[in-house]
Each structure stands twice: as structure tokens, then as C-alpha cells.
Structure 1
Amino acid sequence: MFGSFMGQILRIATFGESHGPAVGVVIDGLPAGLAIDETLIQRDLDRRRPGTSPYVTQRKEADTAQILSGLADGRTLGTPLCVVVHNTDARSKDYGELLGVFRPGHADFAYHAKYGAPPQPGGGAGRSSGRETVGRVAAGAVARAILAPLGVVIRACTAAVGQVRAARLDWDFAAQDPLRCPDPDAAPAMAERIAQARAEGDSVGGLVRLVVSGAPAGLGDPVFGKLDARLGGAMFSIGGVKGVEIGAGFAVAQRSGGQNNDAMDENGFRGNNAGGVLGGISTGQEITMLLAVKPTPSIGRPQQTIGLDGQPRLIQIKGRHDPCLCPRIAPVAEAMAALVLADAYLAQRALAGAAR
């Protein structure tokens, strides 16, 4: 992964800025003849779309996908496939008072240090905004078409909001809950916590759980191409994600080898502390991940910062922002997992073909 590009065989490049005319993605390396259902691309974009509930930013975007190239009669041509989504509800005027200052918790300062450009609407140079993930989700939907014949199912949910944590994993409930909470008992408390943060002009962090079922054994490469390393890097590339656990994660630091090793018998593995990956290669078990998501840095409370001139400033951010990022990060995490796994599968298929 480098800059705006990702992948080895299945390669993507996202483009566009939060307050520019459009965002999207170019996907290269797709096999010719792959059936693509455009309604599934739109379905995933709708799951990521803003303005869908009181718990996310109220920016109103239809996020209608338009495929510009690489597809004919519902099948890929083997040439680059380009998906574009036009921005229709950007309000750059909301950022008028902030263009000369570095917002706390945002990428403004880091982007300025790298590119020399002043802060732009939508975060950094407009690329660090969550709006950039539109292209990722569209590409992830295409990657799912590669994985579907294998029986791979990728799901993510909001496992915690602040101190409120889900105790159950009901995927059917999570699919219809506006917060993507998998626990009917915890959902009201999560909603209350987010409403409280918004009323206080603040935001709240949380956890996103990702589970991949049906991934075949043998995906990934030893040493530098480890599947867990690629999955972890993909998740860390999502804005707001500050920690990633695979399998038992940080809990392994408190265990002995006997406690942590996944014993095997004639029926296979008897546990999954490894989270479905050993030696950087998938085992065929569920791949399980937990993502730590920071509170949205755009808050309505006064904050101390500095301007481009280095002078202290006291700012209060206006505009439309997510009080909690988790519900909208969940479909992005699914898309990133799909892209990594589809790329690893195509690489494994090429390797198997070369060995014949």
C-alpha cells in the first residue's frame, strides 16, 4: 500500500476530495468475464452513506455510483474499471473560518508539513476525510464478486461505543440497526451515549468487530506478505482507526503458550486465538479482528490551536460531523478486508497455476 494505491494483482487507486466535484476509484487487475451486479455496489455505498440516521453526519449525499469503464453487459472486460460518485452537498462555507488554522485531532498540520498546502475543507487536503472511503467501498463490492464463489462472508459491526459494549453477536440485528450494534440489549445504551456526546458538542470513540467466514486456507505469504500484516495495514489506512487486534490480540501478552496455542484434533482446530491466521497464512478458520476507533475530532466545543502564522487561536468547529465514527467505518472495514482477501486469492491462484 502506498499513497492512494493498494494491491498487488488486484490494484486500486482512489481519487477525489471531500469538497471537490467527485470521488471514486479505478480498479485494475480484474479477471475478464467476472459478473458484476451494480446493485450490490450501490447497496454497499448506501450502507456507508451519510445522512441515513440521527447518529451520523447529516450531509445529504445520494452516493449514486456511475461506472465509466471496464464493464459491458454486466461483465468485466479485463481493463481498468472506474467508478465515480459525484459530490452534491458539500458546504465549503462551513469551513470558511478554519482555512487558516490547524484543527486539533485532524490531519491539517501533517498535510501542511508534507505538501505545504494550507488546510482544505474536509480534512487535510480533502483526502483525509471519510468521504475518500466511497471509492474503497465501491471497490470492495467488486472484490466481493471474486470471493463470493468461494463462500467467503465478510461482516463488521459496532462492538462498543465508549464504555457501552455489546455482549452478543447477532448479525441479523446488526444488519438493521442504525448503529450496526449486534446486541439488542446494548443498542439503546449505545444510542443514548452518542446522543449525549452530540448534545454536549462532543464525540465518542468505540470498537468495530470484523469477522470473515469461509476464507480458504493458504492465503497470504510468509515474511513480508503476511495476510495478517496486510489486513492490519488495510485497517490502519482507514481514517480514525488507531488500534487493530487479530484473534486474541493484546490478551496474548498475559497468557502462557499452553493457554494461547490452538490445539488440534481429528476435527481440526479446537480454538481460534490466532484469529484465522498462522505464520501469515490463513488457516481456513474465521478471521477475526477488532478495530479501535478514535472519537471524531470535529467537535462543537472551543479548542485551543494555532494558525498558519503560528499564533494561538481558539476555535469552535461548525458543520455536519459524525458524533461516532463506528457505524460508518464498519462497511469500510468490510471493503478493505474484501480487497486484501481477493488480492491474496488471485495471487494464490496464479501461484498454483505456475506450479502446474
Structure 2
Amino acid sequence: MGNSFGKLFKITTFGESHGVALGVTIEGCPAGLKIDEDFIRAEMQRRKPGQSKITTQRKEEDEIEILSGIFEGQTTGTPIGIVIRNADQKSKDYSHISDKFRPSHADYTYFEKYGLRDYRGGGRSSARETAARVAAGAIAKQLLATKGISVQAFVSQVGDLALKKPYQELDLHKAEENIVRCPDPETADQMIELIDSVRKDRDTIGGIVSCVIKNTPAGLGEPVFDRLHAELGKAMLSINAVKGFEFGSGFEGVKMRGSQHNDAIVKEGDQIKTLTNHSGGIQGGISNGEDIYFKVAFKPVATIMQDQDSINEAGEKVTVSGKGRHDPCVVPRAVPIVEAMAALVIADYLLLSKTNKLRDL
């Protein structure tokens, strides 16, 4: 239960942090989609560990093995199977907490649910599971590209250091030009310095990843319980360490009056547009054709290189000492994960939209 996501474009992930491999099956991808395997590999490189001084130093190339569903460079319409083998597990780094619960991890909750747990890096609860999502998201992105839809995420805040400019004033492609993935070079340098100082303090820090989806057609989404923003929220909140999701004007919108917040509708040629976009591209749970934009808040990584009080499986008081290789701040590597989950949602709703009109059947 709980290992699958999506309705028509559906993924199921499997594997653990220190197991033999992670993987994903993708169902519902239309036949005939040309697949660029190098693009999938490039997306995996963006998420992989060990890519800079401000990420975990675990060394995983995250090379993909496509097992099924793609023939001669095109999807066949059958389930796509992808495996990412683990290569640099150091399970001994976790032997000291084999019966201890790490604060703010899933150790205790998994133990209560299953009566046992894989203590090696958290097993299934590890953020390493997201490698499978990025592989699937890379295929979803290629599907969206056939419709001109793009998904671009970037780091907009680390701790209390936030980007001051709105995304419309930034070249979002510049996010890939620095290790923190912030599109403003000056702010990026400050963020890198902050994360590195936190790392040297043997501590961690949180941040925010913003995401913009462009060229989404109007009409994507389902009424009431399956609203587009609700599914995006679920997708983002399913990512490890996520503590908050807001789209459009978000919490800032409460400071405005309706006369300020309402997005006036105009027609320019054959195109219907809004003069502002406080709605974040979604109204009534359905896309209106404007940019969809949202923010995702990530907590500080729970593993810190300091002693912490906790208990063991017997209920005895113990001290937990952080060991191993961990990110001082998760947001730089979370950028491709946010993009992948957003792409999966839009791909799913794009396919669902074809079943709502008689002329599309």
C-alpha cells in the first residue's frame, strides 16, 4: 500500500536505501513516445549524491537500467521498468542505531507500524527512494515536451535567506549554473556560504524550492476531491522532509482584499488570459492556461553530527550520535525531485483530460 502514484500515468516504486537496487514501473505511458535515455541520465545526475561540497558524499552514479517498455527508442505502451542499482552502501555506518530511534526520522513510526524496521539508512523511508521518481519524471517530462509544457524548479530560500525577485524577473535556467540551484548568482553565493557554515557546525538547515509549470493548457484537473492543486500538493508532500506546500498567492493572499486578489480576465486575439495570476494558474481545481507556480518547504535534515537524546526499542533512554554521509541542506538535490513529481501530475491529468470530452474518445 502507498507505493503507487497516479491514475492513468501511474508509477510504482520499490527498493530500499541499502538494498540491492531501487526501481520504478511506469504504466499508462502512450506508445510511440520517443525516449532520450541521455536525458533520463542527465536528470539522475542532478539528483545523485556526492555532486558538491554541500551535499552528502555518498558516491552513487545512479545509472539506469531500462528493463521493459521501450523498444528501438520508443515506448511500446506496455509497462516501463527501470532499475537503479545501489553501489556505495555503507550499512555499517548505521549499526550503532540498530535498536535506537533517531529523532525526527521514521524509525519509531515504521517500528510501530510494522513491528520491525530496516535501520540501514532508513530503508524504504530514505530519500534515496526518490531516485526512482526522478527516472519516471524524466519520461513524464518528455511526454509533456511534445505539448510544449515545461517544468522548472529552483531554490528560492535557505534558512531565512530568500530570493527577493519574483520568478518572472529571473532567468530560471541559471539555476543549473551553481551548486545550490538558485537562479540569482549573488543570492546563490550567499546560500552556499550559509549551508557550508552550517555543515561545519555539524548541523543542518532547511529551505524552499519554488516551481513554475509553463504552457499548461486550460482545462486540466478534476472537480472536488481531485483538484489539480490538491494532487500537486499530495505529490509534493509525499517527498521526504517536506513540511509545507503553497501555490499561487499562498499565505500572502490573506493580506489582500478580493478587489486586489481577483485575476481580471481578458481576451487577446484568440487567447483568453488573466491580467494577474494570484490564482497560480489554477481556478476551481482546474488549470486556466496561466503559469502554475508553487513553493515547497523542506525541513532541516534530521540527521545531525551531534549527540541527541532518544530511546531504544526497549524504551530505555539512549544517546544517538550522527554518523555517516548526509546532506547539510536537502534543497539543492530536491530541485529535480520537485520537477519530477510535478511532471508526473501534469502528465497524468493530460491523459485524464482526453477522457472527459466525447470528441476525444
Output the TM-score relative to the length of structure 1. 0.97
- Tell me which residue corresponds to 1:201: 202
Question: Aligned AA for 1:27?
Answer: I
- Tell me which residue corresponds to 1:252: 253
Question: Aligned AA for 1:233?
Answer: K
**8 Å CA contact 2:354, 2:360 repeated in 1:** no
Query: Please, which of 286, 290, 297 is the counterpart of residue 292 of structure 1?
Result: 297
Query: Please, which of 299, 303, 315 is the counterpart of residue 308 of structure 2?
Result: 303
Q: Displacement of 1:119 after TM fit?
A: 4.8
After superposition, what is the alpha-carbon deviation per residue over 1:65-124, rounded to whole angstroms, capped at 9, x for unaligned? 01001111001111110000100001000001011111001011111111111352112x
Q: Displacement of 1:353 after TM fit?
A: 5.0
Q: 1:354 to 1:12 in 2, by over 3 A?
A: farther
- Tell me which residue corresponds to 1:136: 133
**8 Å CA contact 1:170, 1:182 repeated in 2:** yes
Query: Please, which of 117, 123, 127 is the counterpart of residue 124 of structure 2?
Result: 127
**8 Å CA contact 1:160, 1:166 repeated in 2:** yes
**8 Å CA contact 2:11, 2:27 repeated in 1:** yes
Take 1:298 and 1:163, find their aligned partners in 2: how far apart are those partners? 20
Q: Displacement of 1:237 after TM fit?
A: 0.3
Take 1:82 and 1:306, find their aligned partners in 2: how far apart are those partners? 40
Question: Aligned AA for 1:137?
Answer: V
Higher alpha-carbon deviation: 344-353 or 54-63: 344-353
Structure 1 position 154 matched with structure 2 position 159: no
Aligned pairs for 1:39-50 within 5 A: 39-50=38-49
Q: Displacement of 1:255 after TM fit?
A: 2.0
- Tell me which residue corresponds to 1:221: 222
- Tell me which residue corresponds to 2:276: 271
Amino-acid identity (%): 46
Q: Secondary structure at the match of 1:351?
A: coil
**8 Å CA contact 1:159, 1:165 repeated in 2:** yes
- Tell me which residue corresponds to 1:180: 181
Question: Aligned AA for 1:198?
Answer: R
**8 Å CA contact 2:241, 2:298 repeated in 1:** yes
Where structure 2 has 5 or more consecutive residues not aligned to the other structure, the ranges are none
Where structure 1 has 5 or more consecutive residues not aligned to the other structure, the ranges are none
**8 Å CA contact 1:100, 1:118 repeated in 2:** no
Higher alpha-carbon deviation: 322-331 or 182-191: 182-191
Q: Displacement of 1:5 after TM fit?
A: 0.3
Q: Could you list the structure 1 runs, at least 4 aligned residues long, displaced by more than 6 angstroms after superposition.
A: none
- Please report the RMSD computed on the Cα atoms of aligned residues, expressed in angstroms: 1.2
- Tell me which residue corresponds to 1:89: 88
**8 Å CA contact 1:302, 1:314 repeated in 2:** yes
Q: How many residues align?
A: 353
Take 2:211 and 2:121, find their aligned partners in 1: how far apart are those partners? 27
- Tell me which residue corresponds to 1:23: 22
Structure 1 position 349 matched with structure 2 position 348: no
Q: Displacement of 1:167 after TM fit?
A: 2.5
Q: Displacement of 1:351 after TM fit?
A: 2.5
- Tell me which residue corresponds to 1:12: 11
After superposition, what is the alpha-carbon deviation per residue over 1:294-347, rounded to whole angstroms, capped at 9, x for unaligned? 000010011111000101111111000000000111100000000000000011
